[in-house]
A and B are shown apart, each in its own frame.
Chain A
Amino acid sequence: MLPFSSWEIGPIFRAMTRNKVGAVLIALQVAVTMCIIVNSVHILMERTEQMARDSGIDEANSFYLSSTGFADDFNDQVVIQTDLDAIRALPGVIDAMQINAIPISGGGWSMGLQTQPGAEFEGVGTAVYMVDDHVLNTLDLELIAGEAFQPSDIRWRERSQRDWPAEIIITRALTENLFPEQSYQDTVGKTLYINDDEPVIIKGIIDKLQAPWVGWERLENAMLSPEQTLFSSSMYFVRTEPGRLDELMPAVEQMLADSNKGRVVRGLRSMQETRERTYRRDQAMIKILTTVMITLTLVTALGIVGLASFNVNRRRKQIGTRRALGASQASVLRYFMLENFLISSIGVILGAVLTVGLNIYLVQSLGLTKLHWWLIPVGMLTLWLVGQLAVLGPARRATATSPAIATRTV
């Protein structure tokens, strides 16, 4: 290891000030590249985190479809019961039920729940799932307190009906939102108010179930209401044994279509496809940003290679002279590496400022979250490394300069 004083920082720096433009160009490139990369990584992490949230249901083995009756003699109640019995009887089906909305699908029903009656009190928003007594098994939910629905709890709901069943099951997140002071076990049996003043009692608590709207801040607030709907369309949710989904999806669709000609069966979709569609934009953003980061790093690296090669060529005579005066190959290599390191340092410091600036802009105008502070040093290190790697090739070529070149021309 050489003593620090013989690292030639002084001469390198003085040489740089004689050719500012090249150095400034590289430093600026490094700065802007760092700004883009760090912000992209930040967005990427944010999206990945959102997509990794668990919906609480058995997504891999579930699908749903709708049935809309149009014949004059179409009897919703009879058809729904017959359909469900037939689906549940199919080999490979774990369970099935009717539901009014699909978790994470984007479309659903929301209500406000409050702990005191009266329009003047603010409610806590929740997604509403209208389900029957098969819900825990069909959605693969865990009841962590209270009791499950019994068949006798389930009622039929007409289209314009406004009242609610007497008892509901809610998620742990919802009960903790409603009763922040109490542990969730103690909230079973408590009375809540829906529609400002209609009482409903908490019958049970489930561990987790997401609402249909993934962009909602209260995504884990959901309630299960024991009722089957008699709306113009009915949606069936089916959970299959592992590995049987692909075979059962068309089978169920065909069976329903054949069993009654007075209806349209449509909207057959697996939960996995639903998840893909819901997060498609995030997925796309991730891919685009990754492409941008890779190409950008390449462009910057190539730029460094180009300019370094140019510098090496231009200084062949000086390098030769230095070599003739006794400088080792290693010290020539070190010269170029150190030069790049100094330029990159200016670049990454400027880059850190730009990064924070862009992040502040994105937070203020486009609602992004704040950057994790540690991304900045990581970004700085990365760009230092990229710079050193890029300059390595040209620098090694410089070391090959023969000392004799110094003697050829003046």
Chain B
Amino acid sequence: MFNYYLRLALLSIRRNPILSGLMVAAIALGIGASMTTITVNYLMSSNPIPQKSEQLYYVQVDSWDPNNPAEEPNEPPDQLTWTDANNLYAAQKAERQVIMATTAAVVEPPSQDAKPFNAYIRLTTNEFFPMFDVPFLYGGHWQASADKGREQVVVLSRKSNDKIFGGENSVGRSLRLAGRQFTVVGVLESWYPAPKFYDVGTGAFDEPEDLYIPFLLKEELQLPNGGNTNCWKTPEEDSFAGFLRSECIHYQMWVELPNEQDKQAYLAFLNNYANEQKALGRFSRPLNNRLSDVMQWMENRQVVTDDARVMLWLSLMFLVVCLLNTVGLLLAKFSGKSAEIGLRRAIGASRQALFYQHLVETACIGLTGGIAGLALAYLGLLGIGSLYGSFADNLTSLDINMVLLALLLSLISSIAAGLYPTWRACSIAPASQLKSQ
């Protein structure tokens, strides 16, 4: 029976090509527009590390100005001071912890062919890699002893390994960085978390850094600050060391806490730490320490941009217009068929059968519209990619979930749009239609 209905549907579609084409076009446009913006929003708000996003917490302690909160209404500062980052890290109270910052320095590759270049560097501690499940191509991360010993070791991103060593296994080789000799201990696989959750400060969808080196080399090599630096109080001395010791925030900390109990214990530790600092004359604000897991932190940092949300709303309304349009066109189409329906009813087709038949026809139109809409969404994403440049590189790919969602959305919305016209078509009294023939 289904095949028969399908054949009837195709016949009917072919008989009214313009009307059917308009409907397919309306559904395709609506689905195309909304799938484009849904995809952008979906990718922006996607969980970059689903396997452990609820065990990783961003650490905030309120070291800010006694007179003003860091952010209204009463948010603690979004980064840590050098002092707090080092103290909290040294305490080692979490299952794993990492402190980090960004910097830049000139890399001089060992080979004469490759030119020196300015590299973006992540200063971090060794557990960065296992904590964030960073995949290695060659070698591995440095040991905790290298952090303590301020050893000049470096982990390269795959891209910079390609650039410096032509993609070879470079573990054990050396390169000059910031005027010092560094040894390569590991090379990463291609790794592009989106959003770049571990540091969204300078752009939530930026590429990860080129190189990773031990955190304390910041002090040793007097490396400049990358990313954001904020001070509520001027440093007290005119030196690099004085700047590190100041109340300026520039450092980030993440901890891994496997369960709620660990989280509570860590929060208690933070509060305890803040009280200790109060005794030393720092932390004059009321206790306001925070642990946010990955998705909470993304929410807090407003990783999904307002523009994307505005577009999502507008495109969903666009879909509504397209569906209203389809309802109208279907009404027109089915009422043109009233004579045929009357005839079929008169020779014994039940209303149910007719309803089913027209639903198949509607679904055909809907699915065709959906597939065309997917193609439009693909074009739309390409368009967004070219309009936004590198910012949108990680935000404009259709995955299988999105394809299924698009087809489902088009099917459901076209059937919803088809219900009323179908019902109306089927409630035609056969006699009235046969009379006028």
Q: CB within 8 Å of B: which residues of A?
A: 21-22, 25-26, 28-29, 32-33, 35-36, 39-40, 43, 68-72, 119-120, 158-163, 195-196, 231-233, 263-264, 266, 277, 280-281, 283-285, 287-289, 292, 295-296, 299-300, 302-303, 306-307, 309-310, 313-314, 358, 361-362, 365-368, 409-410
Contacts and interface: CB of A to CB of B under 8 A. Distances in A.
Given A35-B317, A288-B384, A295-B29, A300 B325 contact: yes
A163 to B, nearest CB: 8
A231 to B, nearest CB: 7
Interface stretch (B232-240, B249-257, B275-283, B285-293): B232-240
Given A70-B178, A409-B436, A366 B309 contact: yes
B327 A25 contact: yes
B243 interface: yes
A312 B322 CA distance: 22
B331 A40 contact: no
A292 B318 contact: yes
B114 interface: no
Contacts of B33: 292, 295
Contacts of B310: 43, 362, 366, 368
Interface in B377-416: 383-384, 387-389, 391
B106 A70 contact: yes
A162 B387 contact: no
B293 to A, nearest CB: 23
A296 to B, nearest CB: 6
Contacts of A196: 234
A372 to B, nearest CB: 18
B106 A264 contact: yes
Interface in B113-138: 115-118
B328 to A, nearest CB: 4
A266 B104 CA distance: 13
Contact of B325 (A72, A231, A264, A299): A299
A299 B224 contact: no
Interface in B286-329: 305-307, 309-311, 313-315, 317-318, 320-322, 324-325, 327-329
Given A299-B321, A367-B306, A284 B387 contact: yes
A69 B118 CA distance: 10
Nearest to A37: B314
A212 to B, nearest CB: 13
B26 interface: yes
8 contacts: A159-B224, A161-B238, A162-B238, A283-B387, A302-B22, A307-B331, A409-B436, A410-B436
Contact of B321 (A33, A158, A195, A361): A33
Interface string B253-286: 0000000000000000000000000000000000
B166 interface: no
A32 B387 CA distance: 27
Contacts of A40: 314
A310 B224 contact: no
Contacts of A302: 22, 25-26, 325
B116 A264 contact: yes
A366 B33 CA distance: 21
Contacts of A29: 321, 324-325, 328
Sorted nearest first, the 5 A-B pairs with minimum C-beta distance are: A310-B332, A284-B387, A70-B106, A303-B325, A366-B306
Contacts of B328: 22, 25-26, 29, 303, 306-307, 310
Contacts of B387: 280, 283-284, 287-288
A32 B321 contact: yes
Contacts of B235: 160, 162
A68 B424 CA distance: 75
Contacts of B19: 306
A195 B22 CA distance: 66
A389 B58 CA distance: 58
Contacts of A313: 336
Given A160-B243, A292-B314, A314-B335, A300 B321 contact: yes
Contacts of B335: 310, 314
B388 A281 contact: yes
Interface in B338-395: 383-384, 387-389, 391
Contact of B108 (A36, A70, A280, A285): A70
A160 B116 contact: no
Nearest to A109: B229
Interface string B193-236: 00000000000000000000000000000001000000000110
A28 B324 contact: yes
Could you say which interface size class chain B belongs to?
35 or more
A36 B328 CA distance: 20
B420 interface: yes
Contact of B67 (A120, A289, A295): A120
A232 B224 CA distance: 7
A158 B240 CA distance: 10
Contacts of A32: 317, 320-321, 324
B313 to A, nearest CB: 7
A284 B22 CA distance: 28
A33 B30 CA distance: 13
Nearest to B420: A21
B186 to A, nearest CB: 24
Contact of B314 (A36, A195, A266): A36
A194 to B, nearest CB: 9
Contacts of A281: 305, 307, 388, 391
A232 B118 CA distance: 11
A366 B308 CA distance: 10
Contacts of B325: 29, 299-300, 302-303, 306
B318 A195 contact: no
Contacts of B320: 32
Contacts of B336: 310, 313
A143 to B, nearest CB: 30
B167 interface: no
B172 interface: no
A68 B384 contact: no
Contacts of B322: 299
Contacts of B26: 299, 302-303
B365 to A, nearest CB: 14
B179 interface: yes
Nearest to A71: B179
A225 to B, nearest CB: 15
A36 B306 contact: no
A410 B329 CA distance: 27
Given A284-B388, A292-B314, A358-B317, 9 more contacts: A25-B331, A35-B317, A70-B176, A72-B179, A163-B238, A264-B115, A280-B389, A283-B387, A362-B313
Given A28-B324, A299-B26, A22 B388 contact: no
A48 B87 CA distance: 49
A264 B118 contact: yes
Contacts of B110: none
B324 A303 contact: yes
A108 to B, nearest CB: 11
Which of A36, A161, A231, A410 has the most chain B CB atoms closer than 10 A to its own CB? A36
A363 B422 CA distance: 40
B149 interface: no
A160 B67 contact: no
Contacts of B388: 280-281, 284
Contacts of A162: 234-235, 238
